[in-house]
Structure 1
Amino acid sequence: MLLPWLVTCLAGCAVILSPVSEGCGPGRGYGKRRSPRKLAPLAYKQFSPNVAEKTLGASGRYEGKITRNSERFKELTPNYNTDIIFKDEENTGADRMMTQRCKDKLNSLAISVMNLWQGVRLRVTEGWDEDGHHSEESLHYEGRAVDITTSDRDRNKYAMLARLAVEAGFDWVYYESKAHVHCSVKSENSVATNSGGCFPGGAWVTLEDGGQKLIRDVCPGERILASSEIDGSGELIYSEVLTFLDRDPATWKQFFTIRTESGASVSLTAAHLLFVSKGNCSGGEEAAFGSMRTIYASDAQPGQCLLTTVTGELVGQNEEGRKGVGRLSRISQVNMREDVGVYAPLTRHGTLVVNGVVTSCYAVVDEHNLAHWAFAPLRLLHHWTGSAGGHVGDTGVHWYSKVLYWIGSLLLGSEHFHPWGLADPWR
């Protein structure tokens, strides 16, 4: 039984996703190879992503200095890649020591350097530091950071070298000085390498009886308040929870907390999708169909309008189970905080109301409609079997999300995905 519905799901994903990519579906560009994406060099002193290095959105927290005598020294591995030049001015081999994740990204970058500049190799001027030459809590002390140049030491290449490092998958890249580029990665056991789109465990949803329930306690099969329209507008309805796209009670994540003038406040991870009005808005108004668009939570700005629910309208319901409508409310403040537990329930309608704010169930990809279509095979699977493939108590990213991300990454350019998205979708 497993193989037929797995094949059905994968085939459905390929069919659904392919039309949205130029050159991958019918029409103009069909059958043509997509032109290589032009890479833009980083500006001097620019860092990517545009957050501090030791935040969860970049390389994550400092976990402590690693010495040769410490238990954690086994976390480091030597890099003997002959396509990389290691300065090793200490003559101890320290620059070759790094975490496996750092090694993988560095080796990938070495290939990109040789492909772009004939006869030029990647050069590491500083890797793991055991002598205390860097600032306090430097990731060099954990083997998670490297300073790099090109073998010809041509400083005119360093801006593009920084861009290549971003493309190679380093979690934070900083064109730090005219003499080198600084790159770092998340720790091997960092929960930040498994980012998706989620809510914290303390967020609440509304049940059919009008009561509220913490999102961490919601179970598949329950019906929670959601929007009946694909863009979050229109009437509210109770929609069945099919499964969790991500669920991990122990994970610490960085959340964007978005507050509105109506008093509603919701926290989401950076890559989660949020409905906002397309144009100017006034608080308290109903949203017309087609007037909303989706943005990542990390792109939310004061002055934009979200859809919030009005408690008084949620008393009673009509025969179809609809419960009023969402109303526009301006964002008054956006903050960042850390919290424990990540939960991403998937409803049949692809929307849900969390803390009184109408949101999408989806994340990482930049378009709610696309994501909802892509999850159609999973909804069909649930219709056929009564299950969406996940199990009560399962933790981690849902297998379908991982497969879908892999398919999407083949068909869509990286510009369609959030840079903090599923950095390691196969975790």
Structure 2
Amino acid sequence: MYSMINIPYRIILVVLTLFYIDYTSSKKLFDMYGKGAWAHSTEIKFQCFSGDSLIRLSNGENKQIAYLKSGDEILTIEQSKIVSTQMIMMLDKQISKEALFYKLRTESGHEISLTDFHLIPIISSNGNQTYLAAKHIQIGDFLYVLFNDKLQYSPVINITIEIKKGYYAPLTMKGTLLVNDVLASCFAYAKNHHLAQLYMFPFRLYYKLTRFFYLNDSFNNYKSEGLHWIIAIMFDFARYFRPETLFS
């Protein structure tokens, strides 16, 4: 019964996504927001955070990333303020596959493991926030960290590369989240975090719609493993029509 009720909403999501991709792919929008979008690889994968990552919830508790579910209230940082955001879905989830991670350690003792092209915000030399791929982070770059429940900036003092089993790519309403109390983007392979967040508008709208009708786990987070099918469609679109916007 639930699956039958959920079918119209899936159709709505596909229509919204395809319409929105067509609209946002115009040159005017790209000139306005800059270039950046989705993954570019012969093997489509999003990857993201290692399976041993802990996510800070709004109630102050930590939750292992593998157990996140739609509707979870998660802490993040917005305009230098600690705010709450909701977990929408897993863009990619692989329980047993291995991936290469960049493990960043800060002076404050925080650690976060991300795949090579996953975005993470740093404080640039002019004091502004900018997003870099994990593999482009350098010693001395300042990350946003939560220390004693307060926002601080801490420099990276060590970078190691390691192989771990399992990776997860959660999407939140804000497009960011605190992983091991380090602020990170939800997006990988995107050259522009803000444009990637813009492309997620149909997912945010669909999520709000299904929550309004009390439909839980409308994205099948519990059952599905691998790259979400609608994300795969968006990857293909970006790969063939906007390859210049992607890390390769």
* TM-score band, normalised by shorter chain: 0.7 to 0.9
Q: Contact (CA 8 Å) 1:254, 1:337: kept in 2 or not?
A: yes
Residue equivalent to 1:328: 153
Matched, 1:297 2:139: no
Q: Partners in 2 of 1:333 and 1:20 — Cα distance?
A: 38
Matched, 1:250 2:112: no
Displacement of 1:356 in angstroms is 1.2
| TM-score with structure 2 setting the length | 0.84
Matched, 1:308 2:127: no
Matched, 1:206 2:43: no
Residue equivalent to 2:239: 409
| TM-score with structure 1 setting the length | 0.50
Q: Contact (CA 8 Å) 2:120, 2:131: kept in 1 or not?
A: yes
Q: Contact (CA 8 Å) 1:275, 1:295: kept in 2 or not?
A: yes
SS of alignment partner, residue 225 of structure 1:
strand
Q: Partners in 1 of 2:183 and 2:25 — Cα distance?
A: 25
Q: Structure 2 counterpart of 1:14, which letter?
A: D
SS of alignment partner, residue 223 of structure 2:
coil
The Cα offsets for residues 45-71 of structure 1, whole Å up to 9 and x where unpaired, read as: xxxxxxxxxxxxxxxxxxxxxxxxxxx
Q: Partners in 2 of 1:308 and 1:253 — Cα distance?
A: 24
Q: Contact (CA 8 Å) 2:45, 2:92: kept in 1 or not?
A: no
The Cα offsets for residues 153-190 of structure 1, whole Å up to 9 and x where unpaired, read as: xxxxxxxxxxxxxxxx8x8xxxxxxxxxxxxxxxxxxx
Q: Partners in 2 of 1:274 and 1:356 — Cα distance?
A: 13
Distance 1:398 1:249, change over 3 A: same
Residue equivalent to 2:214: none
Q: Which has the higher contact order (CA 8 A, sep 6+)?
A: 2
Residue equivalent to 1:278: 124
Q: Partners in 2 of 1:11 and 1:362 — Cα distance?
A: 21
Q: Partners in 2 of 1:5 and 1:245 — Cα distance?
A: 14
Q: Structure 1 counterpart of 2:15, which letter?
A: V
Q: Which runs of 5+ in 2 are unaligned?
A: 1-7, 33-40, 212-216
Q: Structure 1 counterpart of 2:62, which letter?
A: Q
Residue equivalent to 2:168: 343
Displacement of 1:220 in angstroms is 1.6
2:22 to 6, 10, 14: 14
Displacement of 1:207 in angstroms is 1.6
Greater Rg by CA: 1
Residue equivalent to 1:5: 13
Q: Partners in 2 of 1:13 and 1:368 — Cα distance?
A: 16
Matched, 1:219 2:48: no
Distance 1:399 1:209, change over 3 A: same
Q: Partners in 1 of 2:148 and 2:228 — Cα distance?
A: 33
Displacement of 1:211 in angstroms is 1.4
Distance 1:381 1:400, change over 3 A: same
Displacement of 1:21 in angstroms is 4.0
Q: Structure 1 counterpart of 2:247, which letter?
A: H
Q: Partners in 2 of 1:404 and 1:14 — Cα distance?
A: 11
Q: Structure 1 counterpart of 2:160, which letter?
A: N
Distance 1:235 1:375, change over 3 A: same
Displacement of 1:20 in angstroms is 4.2
SS of alignment partner, residue 187 of structure 2:
strand
Residue equivalent to 1:38: none
SS of alignment partner, residue 232 of structure 2:
helix
Q: Partners in 2 of 1:245 and 1:10 — Cα distance?
A: 17
Distance 1:306 1:388, change over 3 A: farther
Q: Partners in 2 of 1:265 and 1:361 — Cα distance?
A: 17
Displacement of 1:389 in angstroms is 3.0
Matches within 5 A, 1:16-55: 16-18=24-26, 19-21=28-30
The Cα offsets for residues 14-50 of structure 1, whole Å up to 9 and x where unpaired, read as: 212334446xx9xxxxxxxxxxxxxxxxxxxxxxxxx
Q: Contact (CA 8 Å) 2:102, 2:114: kept in 1 or not?
A: yes
Matched, 1:261 2:107: yes
SS of alignment partner, residue 396 of structure 1:
coil
Residue equivalent to 1:379: 204
Q: Partners in 2 of 1:412 and 1:380 — Cα distance?
A: 24
Q: Structure 2 counterpart of 1:366, which letter?
A: K
Q: Partners in 2 of 1:216 and 1:21 — Cα distance?
A: 34
Displacement of 1:194 in angstroms is 4.6
Displacement of 1:218 in angstroms is 1.5
Q: Partners in 1 of 2:81 and 2:55 — Cα distance?
A: 17
Residue equivalent to 1:29: none
